[in-house]
Structure formats: C-alpha cells, structure tokens
Structure 1
Amino acid sequence: MEAPPPPPPPPPPEGWVQIQTNGSVLSLSGSAAAGGLIRDCLGRCLVAFAGNLGTCSITAAELKGAVVGLQMAWDRGHRKVQLKLDSATAVAIIKNCADDEHRHGLLAQHAFNLLSRDWDVVVSHVYREGNRTADYLASLGHSLPFGTHHVDVCSPDLCRWLDYDVMGISQPRLINT
C-alpha cells in the first residue's frame, strides 16, 4: 500500500507571507522557465509570476525562480517571509551561499544578497507534489516571451491550482520501476 502524497505546505503564520517557486527545463529543447507565487496567511495568492529563461540548467532555473520571488516580496514590503522550493539542491545552495567559483555562484550570491537585507526569511524544501501551483506557473513560463511576467491571479487555470492547494489536494508521484 502506497502512502498518500504529501499535502501542499500550510499557509504561513499571521504577519508572514509564503513564496513558492519552481523551475522547469524541457529535456528535448533545453527551454528553461521559472514561476512562483506569494501567498498570505490565509493562503490567498497576492501575486504570481512566470518567466521564460531561455536555456539553462534546472538548478539555475530553480535559483532564478527563488531570486525573482524574493525580490517581489521585498519590493512589496513583506519583511517576514517563508521561501519554499521543491529543489533540495537549490535550498542547499541558497542556505550555504556557494562561492563565486561555483557553477551557480552568481545566482547564489544574488539570493544571499537578498537574504542579507533587514528582514526575516526562512528557506525550506517542500515536496514537488505539494508545490503544484508553482509547478503550473513554471510550466506556463515556457509559452511566454523571454523575461519575467506577472500572471493574473484571477485566471481560471491559476485559480484551479490555488483551490487544489487550499483543499489540500495533491497528486501522487508516478515512478517507473
């Protein structure tokens, strides 16, 4: 009997916001994208973004999504932030601030500079199955022109994924054995 998939992360405590981001790279074309959203303590989406990154590695796409999400939160005046990523590698790079010689050193340094500002940021890993809204937004980025774009938080597709998260609905991971 398989265990049920993990639910989406719970909303942050009152006074905090939660950033959920994701990166995506299409294996055949190498096209890279990132997406994410900022939620309030009631789980409501305050802002969402999707971006076409051109080509890069999956780790670079994950880091770019985190940097964009952090910058959006800062620009909107949020000073108590939870950052949730479904890439344990990206979380480790952000927390350990890889040096400039590291393959992703510039993105890690950008994240570190954002984290060094006068605010409270908690960075943590979330399972992919619980990060479906950010996954949807990252996938959307592949169809957009190059650059980062705000996504209408009232769009029907985005609302569907947000509703799934609020209801705690997640999708099991399919693994070929």
Structure 2
Amino acid sequence: MPDIWIPPEEGWLKLNTDGARSLVDGSASYGGVLRDHNGKWIHGFNKFIGRCSVVEAELWGISTEMDLAWGLGCRQLIIESDSSEALRMVQQYTFGGDPYVIISYIRQICNKDWQIVFPRLLGLITK
C-alpha cells in the first residue's frame, strides 16, 4: 500500500523531499514540495547538482528547502524524506564527525528559533 500524505496541523508547514542519483553516470538531483495544513502548495523545487551520492542529494534537498521555509516566515516545519540514512545523519550529528559538510549546515539551520520535526525518526530537533 502506498504512503498517504497526511497534512500537518494548522500553523505548520510540511516539506517532502527526495534525492535521486543516476546509476549510469552518478549525476544527482533533488526535489520536493512545501505545503501548508490544507495541502496548499507553497513552493516546489528541483535541482541538478552533479555527481554525488543519493544521500548527499537528499541532504541538499532538505537544507535548501529549510532555508526557504525559514525565509518565508515558517517557524514550525515537518520534514519528510524517504532516506532514513540522511535523517539519521542529521539527528546524530557530531561536530566534525560526518562525511558531508552539508550536515553541519542543516544543524545550524535547526538551531534557529523554530520547531523542526522529522516524523520518520519520531523526534523533534531542538536547539
């Protein structure tokens, strides 16, 4: 049975993001959508980023849209990704101990004055 999109509570935005990587040449991209509690489309995005791992593409998608959500005035954000590895890396971040610099940047964004929830990890990232 396919996953069903569940809207966030009023006052929250939900980010759904996905990364992809070509098995042929290693090129990668990310994309996704930001929606409100009514399912209203706020912003869609996609970007080709060259050669990298699919996990890194997921992380770039998360960071890019977190920046956008913050800039739009969002202060309560739910982030959904199908990459449990990317989400685990963000949650278990230790300074200087991760293979991707982008994880450090995502943690900096998380430390702003807002609430970020990663439901697949069943956790709230707090400052």
TM over 0.5: yes
Residue in 2 aligned with 1:107?
102
- Where structure 1 has 5 or more consecutive residues not aligned to the other structure, the ranges are 127-177
Q: Does 2:111 match 1:116? A: yes
The CA deviation string for residues 114-150 of structure 1, in whole angstroms up to 9 with x for no partner, is: 0000001101339xxxxxxxxxxxxxxxxxxxxxxxx
- Where structure 2 has 5 or more consecutive residues not aligned to the other structure, the ranges are 122-127
Q: Does 2:11 match 1:15? A: yes
Contact persistence 1:34–1:50 (CA under 8 A)? yes
Runs of 4+ in 1 over 4 A off after TM superposition: none
Residue in 1 aligned with 2:76?
80
Seq. identity, %: 28
Residue in 2 aligned with 1:70?
66
Deviation at residue 7 of structure 1 after TM alignment:
2.5
Match of 1:56 among 34, 47, 52: 52
Q: Distance in 2 between matches of 1:94 and 1:9?
A: 23
Q: Distance in 2 between matches of 1:84 and 1:97?
A: 18
SS class of match (1:97): coil
Contact persistence 1:63–1:107 (CA under 8 A)? yes
**CA RMSD, Structure 1 to Structure 2 (Å):** 1.4
Q: Quick one: which amino acid aligns to residue 119 of structure 1?
A: W
Contact persistence 1:31–1:55 (CA under 8 A)? yes
Aligned residues: 121
Q: Quick one: which amino acid aligns to residue 19 of structure 1?
A: L
- The TM-score with structure 2 as length reference comes to 0.90
Contact persistence 1:85–1:124 (CA under 8 A)? no
Query: 1:1-177 to 2 correspondence within 5 Å?
Result: 5-104=1-100, 106-125=101-120
Deviation at residue 98 of structure 1 after TM alignment:
4.1
Q: Quick one: which amino acid aligns to residue 112 of structure 1?
A: R
